[in-house]
Amino acid sequence: MKVLVIGSGAREHCIAWKLAQSPSVNKVYCAPGNGGTSDLGENINIKADDIESLSGFALKEKVELTVVGPEVPLVEGIVDQFKRKGLRVFGPAKELAKLESSKVFAKELMKEFNIPTADFKVFDSAQEAKKHIQNRRLPMVVKADGLAAGKGVIVCKTKEEAIRAVDIMMIDQVFGASGKKVIIEDCLEGRELSLLVFTDGKKIVPLAGSQDYKRAFDGGQGPNTGGMGAYSPVPFLSHEQFNKAVEVVFRPLLHGLGQKNKIYTGVLYAGLMLYEDKINVLEFNVRFGDPETQAILPRLKGDLPDIMNKVIDSELDKAELEWEKKSSVCVVLASGGYPGEYEKGKVISGLLEAEKEEDVFVFHAGTKMVEDSSGNSIFLTEGGRVLSVVALGQDISQAKEKAYRAAGKIYFEGMQYRKDIGGVVLSKAG
Ligand code: AMP
Ligand code: GLY
């Protein structure tokens, strides 16, 4: 089977790597891919949101399974387009990708289906939003409705901050049309985690729990990033809480959608806040998490394309997932300056040495494979997040030790990474 993975991050390299392990896969394409995926399969120079060219390529090459990494092509209807052309594709249709692209859509469904989430109100007028802020208790959270590259949520400790957040989103329109509507909601306390499930709309097959680290620096300091690390499983999530999360979050959502004749298929990701025995949903994403995927998939035993095909064919009732008992830790190595400005084109060394130890995997994100003057393949940095270094260990502390030992063998000028991934698993990850 020929498979196509769309995207260019470490998440996509990890998905491609896992697909390639299946005996049923003989060719992996990645569009546009990165240095790591060009080493594993073949990179195709088509952007992830160029749906027309991607479907044309998949038809021409007789690709039998396409997996979409990032949200933008899903939100723009890649699944609908591929299906119209008779192509097999893993992911939700455009109308349900709105669960991620419109926080208002997601929150209103949660309210309708009694899914626990922070109490909220929606505004399409800045004036009304500001009036509401005067009567709301602090702290409060202001969210832009649409996609905002992870920057559309502002937790506000004062009313002035909340008013500024409304101005940024609705008056200055920093996030464009994404800020036309805002949500103002209660601020929740607790510990965050990510729970992902495979679903064909009826059956739910949960993946192992994980937690990501969003801030740039140790201790949850510094600006928000695309994610600086992750681990799996989540020690503070008991078996009972895990099952409860599936029953109070995913079951009612999929059932409620089904009643409206809307069938969600693919992977569904819930960002959850856990406080004592209470579980609340912060957000839904309609795709695999990054970097959670790099921590989760190396623990998955079994055949990824097989389960994805069962999702597509509504045969998920025949699927079971088995997980390595081992824990994983993923450390993201980033370019100096990320998430602000950074330089590209730095030579990366130590990749082979890093992967020498058993159960250590290096997934590429912002890298490019080129030939040096002697004709050998080398890798250069090409983005903000450059590599995800993942290790499995008997427990999280052993996985952490191995991941950092491997990270220590890799070098490129300006390289920066957090030193505390997997180290504060019993508190908020940050
Ligand atoms: P979201 O994109 O909605 O998940 O929000 C991004 C981040 O903002 C989350 O991962 C949380 O850290 C934080 N956040 C969002 N909503 C809330 C809330 N109601 N209370 C506290 N923190 C929140
Ligand atoms: N790790 C957060 C996300 O993938 O949205």
Mark which of 280, 299, 323 sits at the end of a domain. Answer: 323
Q: Name the pLDDT band for 356 (thresholds 50, 70, 90).
A: very high
Q: Which ligand 1 atom sits nearest the alpha carbon of residue 152?
A: 2
pLDDT (0 to 100) of residue 198: 98
Is the CB–ligand 2 distance for residue 289 below 6 Å? yes
* Residues 242 and 173 placed together within one structural domain of the fold: no
What's the chain's average pLDDT? 96
pLDDT (0 to 100) of residue 318: 79
* Residues 166 and 282 placed together within one structural domain of the fold: no
Q: How many A from CA of 91 to the centre of ligand 1? A: 24
* Residues 71 and 143 placed together within one structural domain of the fold: no
pLDDT (0 to 100) of residue 197: 98
- The pLDDT of 180-199, averaged and rounded, is 97
- The pLDDT of 163-181, averaged and rounded, is 97
| CATH code assigned at 137 | 3.30.1490.20
Contacts of residue 376, Cβ cutoff 8 Å, sequence gap at least 6: none
Mark which of 300, 323, 346 sits at the end of a domain. Answer: 323
The closest residue, in CA terms, to atom 8 on ligand 1 is 153
Q: Which ligand 1 atom sits nearest the alpha carbon of residue 103?
A: 3
- 380 pLDDT more than 90: yes
Q: Name the pLDDT band for 404 (thresholds 50, 70, 90).
A: very high
- 329 pLDDT more than 90: yes
Q: How many A from CA of 290 to the centre of ligand 2? A: 5
Range of the structural domain that residue 243 is part of = 191-323
Tell me whether residue 423 is in a domain. no
Q: Name the pLDDT band for 172 (thresholds 50, 70, 90).
A: very high
Is the CB–ligand 1 distance for residue 141 below 6 Å? yes
Is the CB–ligand 1 distance for residue 118 below 6 Å? yes
Q: Which ligand 2 atom sits nearest the alpha carbon of residue 230?
A: 1
- By most ligand atoms within 8 Å of CB, the mutation choice from 75, 100, 212, 284 for ligand 2 is 212
Q: Which ligand 2 atom sits nearest the alpha carbon of residue 290?
A: 4
The closest residue, in CA terms, to atom 12 on ligand 1 is 192
Mark which of 323, 352, 369 sits at the end of a domain. Answer: 323
CA–CA dist 141, 273 (Å, integer): 14
Q: Name the pLDDT band for 151 (thresholds 50, 70, 90).
A: confident
Rg (C-alpha) for the chain, rounded Å, is: 21
* Residues 199 and 319 placed together within one structural domain of the fold: yes
Q: Which ligand 2 atom sits nearest the alpha carbon of residue 287?
A: 4
Ligand nearest to the CA of 283: 1
The closest residue, in CA terms, to atom 19 on ligand 1 is 187
Is the CB–ligand 1 distance for residue 282 below 6 Å? yes
Q: How many A from CA of 273 to the centre of ligand 1? A: 9
Count of C-beta atoms within a 10 Å radius of residue 345:
11
Q: Name the pLDDT band for 41 (thresholds 50, 70, 90).
A: very high
* Residues 243 and 258 placed together within one structural domain of the fold: yes
- By most ligand atoms within 8 Å of CB, the mutation choice from 290, 294, 296, 388 for ligand 2 is 290
Is the CB–ligand 2 distance for residue 9 below 6 Å? no
Ligand nearest to the CA of 156: 1
* Residues 345 and 372 placed together within one structural domain of the fold: yes
Tell me whether residue 262 is in a domain. yes
User: With contact defined as beta carbons under 8 Å apart, do 37 and 12 qualify?
Assistant: yes
CA–CA dist 96, 100 (Å, integer): 8
pLDDT (0 to 100) of residue 150: 81
Hey, is 115 helix, strand or coil?
coil
* Residues 286 and 298 placed together within one structural domain of the fold: yes
* Residues 166 and 76 placed together within one structural domain of the fold: no
| CATH code assigned at 400 | 3.90.600.10
Identify which of 55, 12, 3 has the alpha carbon closest to the alpha carbon of residue 33: 12
* Residues 212 and 130 placed together within one structural domain of the fold: no
* Residues 319 and 333 placed together within one structural domain of the fold: no
Is the CB–ligand 2 distance for residue 210 below 6 Å? no
User: With contact defined as beta carbons under 8 Å apart, do 231 and 399 qualify?
Assistant: yes
pLDDT (0 to 100) of residue 379: 97
Tell me whether residue 80 is in a domain. yes
Tell me whether residue 228 is in a domain. yes
CA–CA dist 356, 359 (Å, integer): 9
Is the CB–ligand 1 distance for residue 283 below 6 Å? yes
Is the CB–ligand 1 distance for residue 188 below 6 Å? yes
* Residues 232 and 314 placed together within one structural domain of the fold: yes
User: With contact defined as beta carbons under 8 Å apart, do 71 and 51 qualify?
Assistant: no
* Residues 273 and 309 placed together within one structural domain of the fold: yes
Tell me whether residue 114 is in a domain. no
Distance of alpha carbon 182 from the chain centroid:
23
Of 160-164, 264-268, 273-277, the range with the lowest mean pLDDT is: 273-277
Tell me whether residue 414 is in a domain. no
- 49 pLDDT more than 70: yes
Q: How many A from CA of 143 to the centre of ligand 1? A: 9
230-247 pLDDT, tens per residue? 999 999 999 999 999 999
- The pLDDT of 257-261, averaged and rounded, is 98
Tell me whether residue 195 is in a domain. yes
Is the CB–ligand 1 distance for residue 350 below 6 Å? no
| CATH code assigned at 57 | 3.40.50.20
User: With contact defined as beta carbons under 8 Å apart, do 295 and 288 qualify?
Assistant: no
Tell me whether residue 74 is in a domain. yes
Is the CB–ligand 1 distance for residue 155 below 6 Å? yes
Question: How many domains is the chain partitioned into structurally?
Answer: 4
- The pLDDT of 366-390, averaged and rounded, is 96
pLDDT (0 to 100) of residue 320: 81
The closest residue, in CA terms, to atom 6 on ligand 1 is 153
Is the CB–ligand 2 distance for residue 227 below 6 Å? yes
Is the CB–ligand 1 distance for residue 153 below 6 Å? yes
The closest residue, in CA terms, to atom 4 on ligand 2 is 289
The closest residue, in CA terms, to atom 5 on ligand 2 is 289
Give the H or E element holding residue 155.
strand 153-156
